[in-house]
């Protein structure tokens, strides 16, 4: 995953354009994606697809002709969606178009202006402070034109039409955690899903943030509202911070519960309120969309100092961080797959002794209940899914699943055909 991220890193992505397309093509080598193109001007709820942005070159040169700020060195140097410019100006005029971070003087900040025409350059604050008053040549060879917005999706079908939505974004230029960690982990997760037997259907979408998810939703809303039983928006999952979940709008959905269960008994899950949201969980949970999608991340966007700067690079994102995130999402998937609702076949406790599942010799020690087995049986009454039972009897979900499967195999409990309560 880290190698894939490194390969994707230099590409200049934005919410539209060649960078997104090239990134989707590379990701398709890991997980075959169907790539959709949606023309400029297409409405998406309250929004519409913006013009496409193409940039070839951009620099600020000093009087000596030296390029002191150069897009070729880092695509963060140019404000995203900058309009073209080719002019000479003094420092005062130039300065109005410069962005830097006094608190991180060596970092190039990441700035965009998608929905208002502007141009600008981003540079380390230390460099900005060294600029002298001279004539600067300012050049941005960019273009805004009617084109299309691109996104990729992959549906991994299961036995049932109930779907799990996995969404991540592909619209930031050279940043590692707040861009590449999500697509890379999702691509590997999708490849793993494809390879394993599965009950549920999985839908993986790779979209530009905000406008991309809105476009995707506007084209698929009815289907998604009918099918999605749980979803995850994957963002900033490449560092080694604690696995974190941002709750759905009201919390308590299957997505919230399964994320908690996947981490019960493992490293502690860091839980955020929906008020702490920031990525596309905003759109998925918005009124009128109402999909049960949690945001998953490690260090939350904005909580790590490198966020939205050139410091968010491939040293912040580690192979281990990516792997742990993949493992965490796998645990969520496994929990979703294993979560069933059972009811007892016989009234009263079943006689487990005759099935070799209960000691036949009753001593002081064995009189204690055979732990989780008896407790699971007590609540297998058709009203609780395994997630609810695990929580109630305070046993890690992963520990309860084999117990349930053994009891189902012994035919003392049976699966209730109705779907598990999802609390959507």
CB 141 within 8 A of CB 344: no
Shortest distance in whole angstroms from residue 294 CB to a copy of itself: 15
Q: How far is Cα 38 from Cα 21, in angstroms, rounded to an integer?
A: 12
Residue with Cβ nearer a copy of itself (197 or 348):
348
Q: Which two tokens stand for residue 385?
A: 């899914």
Shortest distance in whole angstroms from residue 96 CB to a copy of itself: 12
CA atoms within 13 A on the CB side of 65: 0
Shortest distance in whole angstroms from residue 221 CB to a copy of itself: 6
Q: How far is Cα 37 from Cα 219, in angstroms, rounded to an integer?
A: 12
Shortest distance in whole angstroms from residue 248 CB to a copy of itself: 11
Q: Which residues contact 350 (CB under 8 A, 6 or more apart)?
A: 344, 377, 410, 412
Q: Which two tokens stand for residue 54?
A: 């193409």
Residue with Cβ nearer a copy of itself (46 or 86):
46
Residue with Cβ nearer a copy of itself (174 or 218):
218
Residue with Cβ nearer a copy of itself (65 or 117):
117
CB 209 within 8 A of CB 279: yes
The helix (run of H) or strand (run of E) holding residue 260 is: helix 254-263
CB 277 within 8 A of CB 246: yes
Residue with Cβ nearer a copy of itself (27 or 149):
149
Neighbours of 37 (CB within 10 A): 13
Shortest distance in whole angstroms from residue 277 CB to a copy of itself: 8
Shortest distance in whole angstroms from residue 14 CB to a copy of itself: 12
Shortest distance in whole angstroms from residue 318 CB to a copy of itself: 23
Shortest distance in whole angstroms from residue 119 CB to a copy of itself: 11
Residue with Cβ nearer a copy of itself (217 or 228):
217
The beta-strand segments (E) located in 123-254 are: 136-145, 148-156, 163-169, 201-207, 228-234, 244-246
Q: Which residues contact 289 (CB under 8 A, 6 or more apart)?
A: 217, 221, 225, 283
Q: Which residues contact 112 (CB under 8 A, 6 or more apart)?
A: 14, 79, 80, 81
Shortest distance in whole angstroms from residue 395 CB to a copy of itself: 10
Burial class (CB in 10 A: 0-12, 13-18, 19+), 408: middle
Residue with Cβ nearer a copy of itself (44 or 154):
44
What distances in angstroms separate CA 19 from CA 54, 75, 154, 165, 208, one per listed residue? Answer: 9, 11, 19, 24, 11
Residue with Cβ nearer a copy of itself (247 or 260):
247
Map residue 375 onto helix, strand or coil. helix
Residue from 83, 130, 128 nearest 108 by CA = 128
Residue with Cβ nearer a copy of itself (134 or 351):
351
Residue with Cβ nearer a copy of itself (65 or 287):
287
Shortest distance in whole angstroms from residue 343 CB to a copy of itself: 6
Residues paired with residue 69 on neighbouring β-strands, in sequence order: 60
């Amino acid at each position: 995953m880290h190698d894939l991220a490194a390969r994707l890193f230099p590409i200049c992505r934005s919410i539209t354009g060649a960078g997104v397309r090239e990134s989707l093509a590379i990701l398709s080598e890991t997980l075959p994606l169907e790539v959709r193109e949606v023309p400029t001007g297409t409405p998406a709820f309250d929004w519409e697809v913006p013009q496409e942005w193409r940039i070839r070159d951009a620099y600020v040169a000093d009087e000596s002709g030296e390029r002191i700020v150069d897009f070729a060195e880092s695509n963060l140097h140019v404000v995203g969606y900058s309009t073209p410019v080719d002019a000479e100006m003094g420092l005062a005029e130039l300065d109005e178009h410069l962005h830097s971070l006094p608190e991180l003087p060596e970092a190039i900040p990441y700035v965009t202006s998608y929905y208002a025409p502007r141009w600008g350059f981003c540079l380390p604050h230390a460099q900005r402070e060294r600029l002298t008053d001279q004539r600067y040549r300012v050049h941005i060879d960019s273009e805004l034109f009617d084109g299309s917005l691109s996104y990729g999706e992959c549906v991994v079908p299961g036995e049932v039409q109930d779907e799990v939505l996995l969404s991540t974004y592909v619209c930031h230029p050279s940043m590692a955690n707040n861009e590449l960690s999500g697509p890379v982990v999702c691509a590997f997760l999708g490849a793993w899903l494809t390879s394993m037997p599965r009950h549920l259907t999985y839908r993986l979408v790779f979209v530009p943030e905000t406008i991309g998810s809105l476009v995707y939703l506007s084209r698929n809303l009815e289907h998604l509202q009918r099918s999605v039983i749980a979803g995850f928006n994957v963002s900033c999952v490449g560092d080694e911070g604690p696995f974190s979940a941002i709750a759905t709008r009201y919390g308590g959905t299957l997505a919230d519960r399964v994320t908690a269960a996947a981490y019960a008994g493992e490293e502690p899950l860091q839980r955020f309120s929906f008020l702490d949201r920031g990525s596309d969980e905003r759109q998925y949970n918005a009124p009128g969309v109402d999909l049960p999608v949690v945001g998953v991340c490690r260090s939350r966007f904005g909580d790590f100092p490198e966020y939205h700067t050139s410091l968010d690079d491939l040293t912040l994102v580690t192979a281990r961080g990516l792997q742990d995130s993949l493992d965490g999402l796998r645990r969520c998937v496994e929990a979703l797959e294993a979560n069933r609702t059972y009811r007892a076949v016989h009234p009263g406790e079943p006689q487990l002794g005759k099935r070799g599942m209960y000691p036949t010799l009753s001593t002081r020690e064995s009189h204690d209940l055979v732990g989780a087995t008896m407790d699971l049986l007590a609540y297998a009454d058709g009203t609780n899914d395994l997630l609810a039972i695990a929580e109630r009897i305070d046993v890690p979900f992963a520990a309860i699943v084999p117990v349930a499967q053994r009891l189902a195999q012994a035919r003392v409990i049976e699966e209730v055909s109705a779907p598990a309560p999802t609390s959507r």
